[in-house]
């Protein structure tokens, strides 16, 4: 029974984390019409920022406060340098350019941080575990990660529901062309949305870093899982990404316990099943 | 449509072929090994071009079929001797093809961005299957110690252990794969694939089951990728789950685009130049310290290539597609004018047909009878539900309730392409043709749709009949002079005429035209209305039109829709006198006119 509880907690925590990454991906698609393969690199950026900044500041939450704005600026830079040339181009060119960005980011990472795996310390006040039964316990830090994710989700809901920029995002979610005729400076909106996507992925990478080690290519599994989440939820739909992420998180957590060899296969099988029933995803507009 | 390669291209390919044939004599062991790898990658990416450049399916998981081909060699190789390539190679293609059939049946349901992501995800699924389990050495991969041999009836003909022998086998297979795909793409089947690439909706409306075509394209490409994979496993005798990875798929897409997607020969050049580029960037002797960050350098070069030359190397070898590049059209002026006896139009009836979108009732309880061999006009103000009604009649939308019958047969549940195959063809409010095809090719593909065995690879069987139908249709709409003009170069009016020609060429017996006169000048309008009268001799024509003078002149019956409801149905004289119509429709017309 406790095992089931732990897996539910693990699944929700992992799902929330994946949601942060996937929401950026789905936003960038929904508003900018861009398929961004280099999204995993921004998760990796977050993880390595976590490594460097935590060794400077000594605390993961200070790192988060410093790192996320840095990632946001980096996102604006990438949009200005590369991504803005892709608006309105066909999928193939978007796939290629963002794939080339992965090659560049991976080498940049190797140049700056090297290839050795590192670990990021959990802050001392969160090192404890909650005893669930005689043999099973649950680390407090994982709960804290879930808590941070929930706070960020509420921030997102606030921005999307109650601010002007959120209004644009909602308009873009249902009809991308509409935004362009609403008299919005779409260049600024695009830059903001892309950078926000980068910041969200980096935030996920930052807070997840103390759970796993930090290593080259850490973002790639996250990218693929985010893709699966976005496909399940419906491309461009944030609500879809949320439920898709929780679904995948739980499937992964239970798969790892009950069918360890086929856990990742199960995730893709789930995606295939959803597509057969609804080719546009659960909340997709097709 | 894919043109025959230009002379310049044939020369370049010929020179490359000669150079490839001479490599074992001039180069050392290393050169042969490198060249073998390039040949194998070329086979792989040519097959990917069938998906990306020809069918328009951007697959980000093509490496999974390559990897399955490689693993097939491991599964089939006996411990102590080499496998027979004559069995192992086809087995690899079969394995990859069967996997593609299973995966494709789901993946092809999706399109665009979804297809990219779904193929990527399936590739990762197979990767984790081979990585996490113990199959074939799990994450460590496995060795194939003895290379395959080619033997027939127990006699060993060739041993692929010999580098040069193996090299020539790869070269021969690349030539075979390229020529085979070129023939395939230029066959009627390939014509449909290219049509799907540019306008899938149009092909579906013509009566092609595009799902089946896309799935077949997916399976064929996968089988060839499987062949490349089994060759790849033969080079090093080592397989690992990384072969499935999305990185491999990404690099393959790079090669296709770098070389020029949609040309088949371009990707071969892409594989060659990508490999050479990679080799140069990795060599410290050429590039100095950059060599340790070669993939970053490669990334920047690729970005420059994508933004600067999106059509790839083939783009500046092949040049732009010109008009009149092939004038093999049969003598058009001699096109036989058909007598009216070629079958009759169809009878279409609806009964209580309705369509509800959320709270909006777009079509409400419409019961109509469209008698054969007449022109039936449908009029109504904007938003009356005319186009929705057409969408229901052609199966583009499902009705919420009610029934439809074609010549007495219930067609309510038929799919769009099934309805089209039963002889209903439509034109669209916004011209819907295949822009990169010539006028003749547009009509040929329409003519193909209604032939028995539309899905076929041989060109000979119905070619003459289809050419004749296309020529007849183009002549009927008055486009004889523009037969070999690319559709995108036609004027707006000509494009609308071409769409009508496609309907005629398709052999449909019930034509539904959505505002065919929109944007036409008086002269063109006159010609098209005369054509519609002629067509009624052996077709049933449904016409939605805002040009009141034209529609009252040409129609045998008129149907008036207002806010989704059937207001009146009768001859033009009856409609003209109907007080309801005058009040609700024509009257309001008068009011706005007098107000303005």
Q: What is the DSSP string of B255-279?
A: HHHHH-TTSSHHHHHHHHHHHHHHH
- Domain total for chain A? 1
The answer, for A96 touching chain B at a CB cutoff of 8 Å, is yes
Does any domain span residue A94? yes
Q: What is the pLDDT confidence band of residue B517, given thresholds at 50, 70 and 90?
A: confident
Question: What domains are defined for chain B?
Answer: 22-246 (no CATH), 352-384+397-423+555-596 (3.40.50.300)
Is the pLDDT score of B590 beyond 60? no
Does any domain span residue A250? no
The answer, for B117 touching chain A at a CB cutoff of 8 Å, is yes
> Pick from A89, A103, A230: which is nearest to B117 by CB?
A230
Backbone angles phi, psi at B363, to 5 degrees: -135, 130
Instruction: Provide the 8-state DSSP code for B337.
Output: P
More confident residue, A74 or B340: A74
Q: Which domain holds residue A154?
A: 2-216
Does any domain span residue A91? yes
Does any domain span residue A253? no
Q: Which residues of B touch A107 (CB under 8 A)?
A: 293, 295-296, 299
Report the pLDDT value the prediction gives residue B78, as an integer from 0 to 100: 81
The answer, for A127 touching chain B at a CB cutoff of 8 Å, is no
Is the pLDDT score of B595 beyond 50? no
Owner of token pair 């395959």 = B148
How many percent of chain B have pLDDT more than 90? 28
A225-281 confidence digits (pLDDT tens): 998 999 899 888 888 899 999 999 999 888 888 887 777 788 888 888 888 888 788
Among A92-96, A172-176, A193-197, B505-509, the range of highest mean pLDDT? A193-197
Q: Which residues of A touch B136 (CB under 8 A)?
A: none
Among A270-279, B59-68, B433-442, the range of highest mean pLDDT? B59-68
Q: B173 has which bridge partners?
A: none
Does any domain span residue A116? yes
Report the pLDDT value the prediction gives residue B334, as an integer from 0 to 100: 40
Of the ranges A223-232, B50-59, B334-343, B542-551, which one carries the lowest mean pLDDT score?
Answer: B334-343
> Pick from B112, B124, B302: which is nearest to A91 by CB?
B112
Q: Which residues of B touch A277 (CB under 8 A)?
A: none
* Average pLDDT rounded to a whole number, residues B151-164: 79
| B120/A111 touch (CB, cutoff 8 Å), yes or no | no
Report the pLDDT value the prediction gives residue B229, as an integer from 0 to 100: 95
Does any domain span residue A247? no
Does any domain span residue A283? no
- Region of residue A8 (left: phi > 0; alpha: psi -120 to 50; beta: else): alpha
> Pick from B128, B295, B306: which is nearest to A264 by CB?
B128
Q: What is the average pLDDT value for chain A, to the nearest integer?
A: 86
Residue of B442, B422, B459 whose CA lies nearest to B183: B459
Is the pLDDT score of B340 beyond 70? no
More confident residue, B158 or B571: B571
Q: Is the ipTM of this complex over 0.95?
A: no
More confident residue, B114 or B179: B179
Report the pLDDT value the prediction gives residue B594, as an integer from 0 to 100: 43
Q: Which residues of B touch A268 (CB under 8 A)?
A: 121-122, 124-125, 128
Q: What is the average pLDDT value for chain B, to the nearest integer?
A: 85
Element (H, E) at B560: strand B557-562
Backbone angles phi, psi at B476, to 5 degrees: -60, -40
Q: What is the pLDDT confidence band of residue B318, given thresholds at 50, 70 and 90?
A: confident
B210-268 confidence digits (pLDDT tens): 999 999 999 999 999 999 999 999 988 888 898 898 889 999 999 999 898 888 999 99
Strand B557-562 to strand B565-570: parallel, antiparallel, or no bridges (unpaired)?
Answer: antiparallel
Per the CB < 8 A criterion, the answer to whether B213 and B455 are in contact is yes
Owner of token pair 């960038």 = A28
pTM of this prediction? 0.86
Distance CA B421, CA B409 (A): 14
Q: What is the pLDDT confidence band of residue A180, given thresholds at 50, 70 and 90?
A: low
Does any domain span residue A89? yes
Report the pLDDT value the prediction gives residue B290, as an integer from 0 to 100: 77
């Amino acid at each position: 029974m406790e095992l089931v509880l732990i897996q539910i907690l693990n699944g929700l925590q992992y799902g929330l984390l994946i949601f942060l990454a996937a929401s950026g991906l789905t936003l960038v698609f929904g508003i900018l019409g861009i398929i961004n393969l280099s999204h995993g690199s921004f998760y990796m950026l977050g993880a390595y920022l976590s490594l460097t900044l935590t060794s400077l500041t000594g605390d993961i939450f200070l790192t988060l406060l410093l790192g996320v704005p840095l990632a946001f600026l980096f996102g604006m830079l990438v949009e200005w340098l590369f991504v803005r040339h892709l608006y309105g181009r066909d999928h193939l060119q978007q796939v290629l350019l963002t794939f080339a960005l992965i090659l560049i980011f991976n080498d940049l990472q190797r140049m700056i941080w090297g290839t050795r795996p590192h670990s990021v310390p959990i802050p001392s006040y969160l090192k404890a575990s909650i005893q669930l039964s005689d043999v099973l316990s649950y680390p407090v830090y994982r709960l804290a990660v879930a808590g941070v994710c929930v706070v960020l989700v509420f921030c997102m809901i606030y921005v999307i529901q109650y601010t002007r920029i959120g209004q644009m995002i909602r308009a873009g979610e249902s009809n991308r062309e509409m935004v362009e005729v609403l008299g919005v400076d779409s260049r600024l909106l695009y830059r903001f949305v892309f950078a926000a996507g980068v910041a969200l992925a980096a935030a996920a990478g930052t807070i997840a870093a103390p759970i796993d080690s930090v290593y080259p290519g850490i973002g790639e599994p996250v990218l693929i899982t985010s893709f699966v989440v976005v496909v399940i939820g419906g491309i461009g739909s944030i609500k879809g990404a949320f439920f898709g992420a929780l679904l995948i998180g739980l499937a992964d957590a239970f798969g790892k316990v009950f069918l360890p060899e086929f856990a990742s296969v199960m995730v893709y099988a789930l995606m295939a099943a959803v597509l057969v029933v609804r080719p546009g995803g659960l909340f997709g507009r097709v | 449509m894919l043109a025959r390669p230009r002379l310049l291209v044939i020369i370049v390919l010929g020179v490359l072929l000669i150079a490839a044939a001479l490599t074992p004599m001039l180069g050392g062991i290393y050169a042969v090994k490198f060249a073998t790898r390039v040949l194998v990658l070329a086979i792989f990416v040519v097959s990917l071009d069938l998906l990306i450049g020809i069918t328009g399916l951007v697959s980000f998981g093509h490496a999974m079929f390559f990897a399955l081909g490689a693993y097939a060699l491991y599964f089939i190789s006996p411990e102590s001797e080499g496998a027979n390539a004559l069995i192992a190679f086809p087995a690899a293609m079969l394995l990859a093809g069967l996997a593609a059939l299973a995966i494709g049946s789901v993946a092809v349901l999706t399109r665009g961005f979804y297809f990219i992501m779904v193929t990527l995800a399936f590739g990762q699924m197979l990767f984790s299957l081979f990585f996490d389990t113990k199959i074939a050495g799990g994450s460590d991969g496995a060795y194939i110690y003895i290379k395959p041999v080619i033997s027939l009836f127990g006699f060993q003909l060739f041993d692929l252990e010999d580098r040069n022998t193996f090299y020539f086998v790869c070269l021969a297979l690349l030539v075979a794969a390229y020529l085979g795909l070129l023939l395939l793409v230029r066959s009627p089947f390939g014509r449909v694939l290219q049509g799907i690439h540019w306008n899938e909706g149009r092909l579906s409306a013509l009566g092609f089951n595009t799902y089946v075509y896309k799935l077949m394209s997916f399976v064929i490409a996968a089988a060839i990728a499987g062949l490349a994979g089994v060759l790849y496993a033969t080079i090093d005798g080592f397989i690992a789950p990384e072969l499935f990875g999305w990185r491999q798929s990404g690099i393959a897409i790079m090669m296709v685009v770098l070389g020029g997607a949609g040309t088949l020969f371009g990707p071969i050049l892409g594989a060659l130049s990508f490999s050479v580029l990679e080799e140069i960037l990795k060599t410290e002797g050429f590039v100095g310290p950059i060599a340790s960050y070669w993939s970053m350098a490669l990334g920047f070069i690729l970005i420059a290539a994508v933004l600067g030359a999106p059509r790839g190397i083939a783009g500046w070898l092949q040049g732009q597609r010109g008009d009149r590049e092939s004038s093999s059209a049969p003598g058009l002026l001699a096109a036989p004018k058909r007598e009216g006896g070629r079958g009759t139009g169809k009878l279409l009836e609806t009964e209580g047909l309705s369509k509800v979108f959320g709270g909006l009732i777009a079509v409400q309880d419409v019961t109509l009878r469209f008698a054969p061999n007449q022109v039936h006009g449908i009029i109504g103000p904007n938003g009356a539900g005319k186009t929705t009604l057409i969408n229901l009649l052609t199966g583009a939308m499902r009705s919420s309730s009610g029934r439809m019958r074609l010549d007495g047969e219930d067609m309510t549940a038929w799919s769009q392409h099934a309805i089209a195959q039963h002889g209903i063809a439509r034109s669209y409010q916004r011209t819907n043709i295949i822009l990169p095809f010539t006028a003749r090719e547009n009509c040929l593909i329409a003519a193909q749709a209604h032939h028995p065995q539309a899905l076929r690879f041989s060109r000979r069987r119905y070619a003459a009949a289809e050419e004749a139908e296309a020529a007849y249709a183009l002549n009927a709409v008055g486009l004889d002079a523009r037969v070999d003009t690319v559709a995108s170069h036609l004027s707006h009016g000509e494009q609308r005429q071409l769409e009508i020609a496609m309907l005629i060429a398709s052999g449909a017996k019930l034509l539904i035209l959505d505002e065919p006169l929109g944007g036409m000048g008086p002269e063109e309008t006159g010609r098209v209305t005369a054509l519609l009268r002629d067509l009624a001799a052996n077709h049933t024509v449904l016409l939605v039109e805002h040009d009141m003078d034209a529609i009252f002149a040409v129609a045998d019956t008129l149907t008036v829709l207002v806010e989704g409801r059937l207001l009146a149905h009768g001859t033009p004289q009856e409609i003209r006198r109907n007080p309801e119509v005058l009040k609700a429709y024509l009257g309001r017309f008068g009011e706005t006119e007098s107000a303005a």
